[in-house]
């Protein structure tokens, strides 16, 4: 059984009214891995996660989660999966301890008190045990939510943007904890908008407009995009940017402070586009490895052209 993937789904599709939110999504997630799930807002990440844990019934597609059919055996899946919702969804008018007690009782955990205490200790919540959840800051709420979803010892964690709105230190501690859990054999599927978090995953999948665009390890994804990048460094980047945008061979121009990333799929066309600016005084050009962010923005632009004219979202993948 250990060789079988934790998640193995084919062709998952979900429609809300006339809108297809997830379209033919297929993925295999190996046990014990941390799998990142990226994509702009509204790309279907949350809907996909909800289908995996039985909160939504797919309109088409089949698959298994921990060996259980996602449509017919959602009850068995719920017992073995920990799901952390995007929005804090524990009870704000209960204390940390009461929330965890409630969850422990729902899962009918044997030796409830010891389990709750262990979870409190593990996430450093013990001294705040009697504090109302509603009065916690974002970082502590996130720890509580994680404690609640690992309480019953799930084999698979589904985390939906767990670190949104959390400060960098708390994010780092959170990710250390995720790695510790994975080391203990837990499989983790985590959606995120942060590139640094994506780079901490064993594998990543990129979703846009309901379709899975790419999947693999970070180097694989970057290589697979077939993107070439040039970076310009200098003071007056505005005119350069305006000129290059939309030029043949340039698929993306993105400013990063005093740097400008120019990317395109064809290195020759890209070089031709940039040539007029090569010898501009005060500008230094160099070839760079495209970043994950370059790749994602490139993929997003491509997919927008392909599937969804006019439904651009404010995603900063």
Partner 1 sequence: MSGDRFSPTRLLAMVVKEFIQMKRDRLTFAMMVGIPIIQLMLFGFAINSDPKHLPTAILSLDQGPFSRSVVAGLQNSAYYRVEWVAETRAEVDAMLDRGVVQFVLTIPAGFGRDLVRGDRPVLLLEADAADPAATGNAVGALNNIVRDSLRHDLTGPLAELAQSQPPVDLRIHRRYNPEGLTQYNIVPGLVGTILTMTMIIMTALAVTRERERGTMENLLAMPVRPLEVMVGKLAPFILVGAVQVTIIIGAARLLFGVPMLGSPVALVVGLLFFITANLAVGFLFSTLARNQLQAMQMSFFFFLPSILMSGFMFPFRGMPQWAQTIGEALPLTHFLRIVRGVMLKGNGLPDAWPNLWPLVLFLLVVSTIAVNRYRQTLD
Footprint of partner 1 on this chain (CB under 8 A)? 50, 53-57, 75, 78-79, 81, 83, 85, 87-92, 103, 106-107, 148
Strand partners, 288: 229
**CB within 8 Å of 152: residues ≥ 6 apart:** 79, 82, 103, 104, 107, 109
Closer to partner 1 by CB, 81 or 252: give it: 81
Nearest-Å Rg of the Cα atoms of the chain is 22
Closer to partner 1 by CB, 95 or 251: give it: 95
Q: Which of 275, 279, 241, 276 is nearest to 257 (CA)?
A: 241
Q: Which two tokens stand for residue 31?
A: 């046990």
CB of 141 to partner 1, least distance (A): 12
Closer to partner 1 by CB, 79 or 117: give it: 79
Closer to partner 1 by CB, 57 or 312: give it: 57
CB of 260 to partner 1, least distance (A): 41
CB of 89 to partner 1, least distance (A): 4
Closer to partner 1 by CB, 62 or 272: give it: 62
Q: Which of 217, 218, 255, 261 is nearest to 238 (CA)?
A: 255
CB of 28 to partner 1, least distance (A): 22
Q: Which of 88, 190, 178 is nearest to 140 (CA)?
A: 88
Other Cβ atoms within 10 Å of 143 Cβ, number: 24
CB of 55 to partner 1, least distance (A): 5
């Amino acid at each position: 059984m250990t060789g079988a993937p934790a998640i193995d789904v084919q062709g998952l599709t979900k429609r809300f009214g006339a809108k297809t939110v997830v379209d033919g999504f297929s993925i295999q997630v190996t046990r014990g891995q941390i799998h990142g799930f990226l994509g702009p807002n509204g790309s279907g990440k949350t809907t996909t996660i909800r289908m995996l844990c039985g909160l939504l019934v797919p309109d088409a597609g089949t698959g298994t989660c921990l060996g259980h059919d996602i449509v017919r055996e959602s009850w068995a899946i719920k017992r073995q999966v920990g799901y952390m919702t995007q929005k804090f969804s524990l009870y704000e008018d209960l204390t940390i301890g009461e929330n965890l007690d409630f969850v422990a009782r729902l899962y009918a955990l044997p030796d409830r008190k010891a389990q709750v205490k262990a979870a409190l200790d593990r996430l450093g919540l013990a001294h705040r045990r009697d504090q109302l959840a509603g009065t916690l800051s974002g970082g502590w709420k996130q720890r509580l939510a994680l404690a609640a979803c690992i309480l019953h010892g799930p084999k698979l964690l589904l985390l939906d943007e767990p670190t949104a709105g959390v400060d960098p230190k708390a994010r780092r501690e959170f990710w250390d904890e995720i790695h510790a859990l994975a080391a203990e054999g837990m499989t983790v599927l985590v959606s995120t908008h942060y590139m640094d978090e994506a780079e901490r995953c064993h594998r990543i999948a990129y979703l846009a407009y309901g379709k899975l665009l790419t999947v693999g390890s970070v180097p694989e994804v970057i290589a697979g995009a077939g993107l070439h990048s040039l970076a310009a460094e200098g003071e007056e980047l505005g005119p350069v940017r305006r000129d290059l945008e939309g030029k043949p061979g340039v698929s993306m121009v993105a400013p990063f402070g005093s740097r400008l990333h120019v990317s395109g799929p064809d290195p020759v066309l890209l070089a031709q586009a940039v040539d007029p600016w090569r010898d501009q005084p005060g500008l230094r050009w160099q070839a760079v490895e495209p970043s994950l962010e370059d790749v994602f923005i490139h993929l997003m632009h491509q997919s927008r052209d392909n599937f969804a004219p006019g439904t651009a979202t404010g995603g900063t993948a």
